[in-house]
């Protein structure tokens, strides 16, 4: 009887080696950019990806106010918030969201692409979005990546 010389290794969240990445969102299409970011936060870019553990990396997004949408999404895309009270629906258009809270465009898009569990909540905490080109995470020595 032969024994296998290879085994599938499950990496726990404590054993995961985490890196820091910085992404420049200037002139990037929002959905495509956020899909790449969500994959990095989940750890799918690593050979040690484990679906049931948070093995992803940290992502810093700069220039969030310079993202772009395709088509007529600036005039047509709606962000809805509901307060769970009668008549408590608030609708914000994408162009209004860009002027008031541009970082929320990326945050909401990435959060929607992550699991809706405690694991997904832990992953979204590793995302840092800033409107300008500056960020306070220089001490972590993040790598710049482009998509």
The domain that holds 39 is classified in CATH as 3.90.1180.10
Evaluate whether residue 139 is within a structural domain: yes
Asked if residue 26 is part of any domain, the answer here is yes
C-beta separation of 80 from 86 below 8 A: no
The answer as to whether 39 is a domain residue is yes
Q: Is residue 1 part of a domain?
A: no
Mean pLDDT calculated for residue range 41-48: 94
In a domain, 61, yes or no: yes
What is the count of structural domains for the chain?
A: 1
> 0.75 cut: is pTM over it?
yes
Write out pLDDT tens, residues 60-101: 999 999 999 999 999 999 999 999 999 999 999 999 999 999
Q: Is the residue at 59 inside a domain?
A: yes
Across the chain, the runs of DSSP E, i.e. the strands, are 20-24, 58-62, 78-82, 89-93, 127-129, 143-145
Question: What are residue 143's phi and psi, to 5 degrees?
Answer: -85, 140
Range of the domain at 108: 20-73+102-145
117 within some domain? yes
């Amino acid at each position: 009887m032969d024994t296998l010389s290879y085994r599938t290794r499950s990496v726990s969240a404590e054993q995961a080696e985490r890196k820091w990445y910085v992404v420049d969102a200037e002139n990037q299409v929002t959905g495509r950019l956020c899909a790449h970011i969500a994959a990095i936060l989940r750890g799918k870019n690593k050979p040690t990806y484990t679906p049931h553990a948070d093995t992803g990396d940290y992502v810093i997004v700069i220039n969030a106010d310079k993202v772009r949408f395709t088509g007529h999404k600036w005039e047509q895309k709606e962000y809805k918030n509901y307060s769970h009270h009668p008549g408590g629906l608030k609708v914000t258009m994408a162009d209004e969201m860009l002027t008031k809270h541009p970082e929320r465009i990326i945050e909401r898009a990435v959060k929607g692409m992550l699991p809706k569990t405690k694991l997904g909540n832990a992953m979204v905490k590793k995302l840092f979005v800033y409107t300008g080109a500056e960020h306070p995470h220089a001490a972590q020595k993040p790598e710049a990546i482009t998509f």
